[in-house]
Structure 1
Amino acid sequence: MQEDMRLSVFAEKKDKQLIYSPEKCIGCGTCVQACPKGNLAIGAVGAITRGLVDADFLEMKEREACLVCGICAKACPTGALEMKQEGKTITDKSYLFRAMKPTSVNESCVHCGLCEDICPQGCIEVTRDISADGKLKLVGKTNIDTECCVHCGWCAAVCPVNAISVEKPFEGHWARDEDVCQTCHTCVEVCPANAIFNKKAKPGERVEKITHRPDACIYCGACAVACPVDAIDVRKTAILPDMEKKGVLEKKLLEKPAPETMLRTCLETDEAACLGCGNCVIVCPVNALSDCELAAGHLNNMDEKALLGVKNGRIKVIDQDRCGADGACAMICPVDAIRLVKREVK
């Protein structure tokens, strides 16, 4: 798997290199929080996750300004950033990803396959067959790809014989403002641990807009980074692995809000293709936050909308800078008259 990954050299000085592996990145922005120079940019995590923008979650603003200190790589919970010295990866225990105990399975495993079915990252493979010794049991192997594991704990939770051990990267606090949340589902799709979901309501039942699974959450902050209306607050309260020089990262990460996101996309419209239906205006979570009636389909209000509006039967972008880059407008448009395109980070 590692051999198939794309690797980007973010910065280098003398014999050291900072390497980024986009396939391992979950868009959490922990590295952005840790960077002492504020030289990393993250944004459009929702649109990228949804496949609406061809880009990586993370960018380096100025390669020349990078100190190649490795603090970002030390903080990364998935190993998407790594430091190399003289071409060899530095693997000491001052790096969170290296200090975490790998998710492992012991001999009690019955190869039932529940862990494979539930893993949100698809990094577990179970091979099994019927025992040939005359006993009613399965034999086989349960392989966990520790390079893509995010340590969410789903596998350990569903294992019927407690054969799997998981160590999480962080403890934390997760909160959401019910009044601000517009149920755009960006957080649900972005979460690498399947820790956020929408409850199914029975007829006449009222449920919260978004529900959080604390036991699955790794408190990475990807949901907060991706939320287009800043309705979610994630704070790390502890770094759990026994890592070297932990105090440096604790000062950078603990009790800090999600990093500020960069507007890495812009909205393009095709007025000739636009039908003027207003679907994008209604579904836009930024619009809905500014006008609660919009989410119910009320387009008759002629007051100027926050981000998107229909004027003279055609879609208009009113304030580009307010876009949350979730991509809801592009997904709902029936004629591809609005889209997000990548723009350079300044």
Structure 2
Amino acid sequence: MQKDMQLPVFAEKKGKQLIYYPEKCIGCGTCVQACPKGILAIGAVGAVVRGLLDADFLEITESEACIACGICAKVCPTGALELKQEGKTLTDMSYLFRAMKPTVVNESCVHCGLCEDICPRGCIEVTRGISGDGNLKLVGKTNIDLECCIHCGWCAAVCPVNAISVEKPFEGRWNRDENVCQTCHTCVETCPANAIFNKKAKPGERVEKISHRPDACIYCGACAVACPVNAIDVRKTAIIPNVEKKSVLEKKVLEIPVPNAILRTCLEVDENACLGCGNCVIVCPVNALYSSELAAGYLNDMDEKALLEVKNGKISVVNQDACGADGACAMICPVNAIWLVKRKVK
């Protein structure tokens, strides 16, 4: 219990506690989709991933309204939410995280280390040495930390001897609007499975702005939650593990759009430090969506901007509510004259 006291207790009801483990959360918002009371909030996922905001992905807006039904914990693919009763964890096969088959390594493993190198979460540790019996082979151990594993399948895909078995949480669809996407890379950095990337183009070759690896994707939706211009649509089409009362969970999350990201940040600026260079204005994906000519030499010719503008040689926030909380402006500023701060969710 002492350990739990240091963790965010989201709600307490009739001897039950809903506990949040931030280190396990991937910012997918599946729990927000499923909550029957609509009291879970997610947002600023990109800023948190980039280390620009000291906050957790998830928060509860009205803890007193929570009925401790546990639906949020049951659909969570990583076990980031847990329901306890009188200090005892309530886990059974109706919880997706528990019903999912663990990612395991069998005796065929040759401890080559490819899985350790490729794991996007750093969940695998391989210890190896040269066999002492005269054979030309490696001996050792391959350990997978199931507390951080998200079952993306990278390890199984690269294993040269098919020694790793993986069961993913969801099947789904991933779509992106090429015309809306501003290539801000928020989705690339947010994806917990390294399923989104930028193709490297050869001279004269035209490639899509952002590319997707279907075989690595777990269709969690974190990329869509983080996208500051809503260019990505992720839909779960099936729950793969054999979860008890699966139909109840499927009604909550299948074919449902990812939850709307709550604006959990404010932009603050230091006019005295600002150089008026306009880099933040150009790089802002919301501004770029508003006008495709913004970054093509028309920075000072446009009278109106959607979110940020340089006025009288100093940065100015036009509309706080338009911010996608991706933090691109803060990342590019050469003098730290603009940054994100956490604000209370209404």
TM-score (ref. length: structure 1): 0.98
What is the CA–CA distance in structure 1 between the aligned matches of 2:317 and 2:149, rounded to whole Å? 40
1:296 Cα deviation from its structure 2 partner: 2.9
1:272 — aligned with what?
272
**Shift in CA distance, 265/126, structure 1 to aligned 2, threshold 3 Å:** same
Partner deviation per Cα, 1:21-48 (whole Å, 9 max, x = no partner):
0000000000000000000000000000
What is the CA–CA distance in structure 1 between the aligned matches of 2:241 and 2:297, rounded to whole Å? 49
Partner deviation per Cα, 1:207-226 (whole Å, 9 max, x = no partner):
10000000000000000000
What is the CA–CA distance in structure 2 between the aligned matches of 1:173 and 1:161, rounded to whole Å? 30
1:312 — aligned with what?
312
What is the CA–CA distance in structure 2 between the aligned matches of 1:341 and 1:192, rounded to whole Å? 24
Q: Is the 8 A contact 1:234 1:258 kept in 2?
A: yes
What is the CA–CA distance in structure 2 between the aligned matches of 1:302 and 1:25, rounded to whole Å? 41
1:248 Cα deviation from its structure 2 partner: 1.0
1:282 — aligned with what?
282
Q: Is the 8 A contact 1:83 1:89 kept in 2?
A: yes
1:188 — aligned with what?
188
What is the root-mean-square deviation in Å for CA atoms of aligned residues? 1.2
1:297 Cα deviation from its structure 2 partner: 4.3
Percent of aligned pairs with the same amino acid: 83
Matched, 1:198 2:198: yes
1:343 — aligned with what?
343
Secondary structure of the 2:295 match is: helix
1:300 Cα deviation from its structure 2 partner: 2.4
2:175 — aligned with what?
175
1:20 — aligned with what?
20
1:301 Cα deviation from its structure 2 partner: 1.9
Unaligned runs of 5+ in 2: none
What is the CA–CA distance in structure 2 between the aligned matches of 1:29 and 1:295, rounded to whole Å? 32
Secondary structure of the 1:248 match is: helix
1:293 Cα deviation from its structure 2 partner: 0.9
Amino acid at match of 1:44: A
Amino acid at match of 1:268: E
Amino acid at match of 2:7: L
TM-score (ref. length: structure 2): 0.98
Partner deviation per Cα, 1:292-325 (whole Å, 9 max, x = no partner):
0113342122321000001100001001000000
Amino acid at match of 1:202: K
Q: Is the 8 A contact 1:6 1:22 kept in 2?
A: no
Partner deviation per Cα, 1:211-251 (whole Å, 9 max, x = no partner):
00000000000000000000000000000000001111111
1:324 — aligned with what?
324
Partner deviation per Cα, 1:117-145 (whole Å, 9 max, x = no partner):
00000000000010001000000000000
What is the CA–CA distance in structure 2 between the aligned matches of 1:51 and 1:187, rounded to whole Å? 15
2:207 — aligned with what?
207
Amino acid at match of 1:196: I
2:54 — aligned with what?
54
1:162 Cα deviation from its structure 2 partner: 0.2
What is the CA–CA distance in structure 2 between the aligned matches of 1:300 and 1:63, rounded to whole Å? 47
1:170 Cα deviation from its structure 2 partner: 0.2
2:133 — aligned with what?
133
Counterparts of 1:191-270 in structure 2, within 5 Å, are 191-270=191-270
**Shift in CA distance, 6/223, structure 1 to aligned 2, threshold 3 Å:** farther
Counterparts of 1:101-120 in structure 2, within 5 Å, are 101-120=101-120
2:165 — aligned with what?
165
Aligned residues: 344
Secondary structure of the 1:19 match is: strand
